Amino acid sequence: MRLRTIPDRQAEVMRSVTATGQKAPEWTLRDEALLILDNRGAVLDIAREVSRLMRAAGIPGAVIGGVAVVLHGHVRTTKDVDIFVPPPLGPLADLLTANGFAFDRARRAFVRQGPPVHLVLPEQIGPPPKEMVEMEGVTTVSLADLIGMKLRSGSADPLRAQDLADVIGLIRHHRLTGGFARHLDKALRPAFRKLARLIQREGSGT
């Protein structure tokens, strides 16, 4: 996997997401600026810390899920941190434990104080990401990889409607067209193009 650094942007968006999972209020530009200055956000803090620990230990993991969606520009609430890590899980589990996290069997997550951390295996998301990027101090996946993960999951499981909603939100935010499908696995391209067309029609009122 390649690692690319994206200049810090939209930190205020991530900090508007609460650790409680409650719906975030509509922030004004002034509110967002104050949030940047305050550097708040328990979810973002945990994502940054785990990213830093993985980088220092040479573990090739990446933050995915809701945190990645928000970092890529689609504002929605999230209350946990999902980490993709190739097997074996032992090194990252040991690293988290050594830094004060304890495994909660009931929640199937590592918990310290604040948002839980879930470890996600390749079989849960499909093919591993092709590229990792650094955004706001967080190691995450590229936009194409994120959309691919979400589209694959949402298309395969009707109960994963949030994943398709994330794809729609990312398409709208980045104003993606069907041409973006070339960055996705071939099997996902028809579904992406269909969504992109529907969103374009919605925007044009046709």
Do 79 and 32 fall within a single domain?
yes
Cis peptide bond N-terminal to 88, omega within 30: yes
Do 123 and 193 fall within a single domain?
no
Do 129 and 205 fall within a single domain?
no
Do 130 and 165 fall within a single domain?
no
- Total domains present in the chain: 2
Do 34 and 5 fall within a single domain?
yes
Do 51 and 153 fall within a single domain?
no
Average pLDDT, the chain: 83
Exposure of 56 by Cβ count < 10 A (0-12 exposed, 13-18 middle, 19+ buried)?
exposed
Q: φ and ψ at 3, to 5 degrees?
A: -120, 125
Do 81 and 159 fall within a single domain?
no
Do 8 and 105 fall within a single domain?
yes
Exposure of 44 by Cβ count < 10 A (0-12 exposed, 13-18 middle, 19+ buried)?
buried
Residue that is last in its domain, among 141, 175, 193:
141
Q: Could you say which DSSP state residue 121 is in?
A: -
Do 130 and 167 fall within a single domain?
no
Give tens-digit pLDDT for 50-73. Answer: 999 999 999 999 999 999 998 898
Give tens-digit pLDDT for 69-115. Answer: 988 988 887 889 999 999 999 999 999 999 999 999 999 999 998 88
Task: Tell me the pairing of strands 117-120 and 81-84.
Answer: parallel
Do 80 and 155 fall within a single domain?
no
Using DSSP's 3-state secondary structure scheme, residue 22 falls into: coil
CA 198/CA 201 separation, integer angstroms: 5
Do 6 and 101 fall within a single domain?
yes
Residue that is last in its domain, among 141, 159, 178:
141
* Residue among 61, 69, 116 at smallest CA distance from 92: 61
- For position 72, which CATH number holds? 3.30.460
Q: φ and ψ at 132, to 5 degrees?
A: -110, 150
Give tens-digit pLDDT for 4-44. Answer: 666 555 444 444 443 434 444 444 433 432 343 344 578 88
The predicted structure's pLDDT at residue 26: 45
Q: Domain span at residue 154? A: 143-206
3-state SS track over 6-20: CCCCCHHHHHCCCCC
pLDDT at 150 > cutoff 60: yes
Do 153 and 125 fall within a single domain?
no
CA 110/CA 101 separation, integer angstroms: 6
Give me the percent of the chain exceeding a pLDDT of 70: 79
Residue that is last in its domain, among 141, 164, 198:
141
Higher pLDDT, 205 or 102: 102
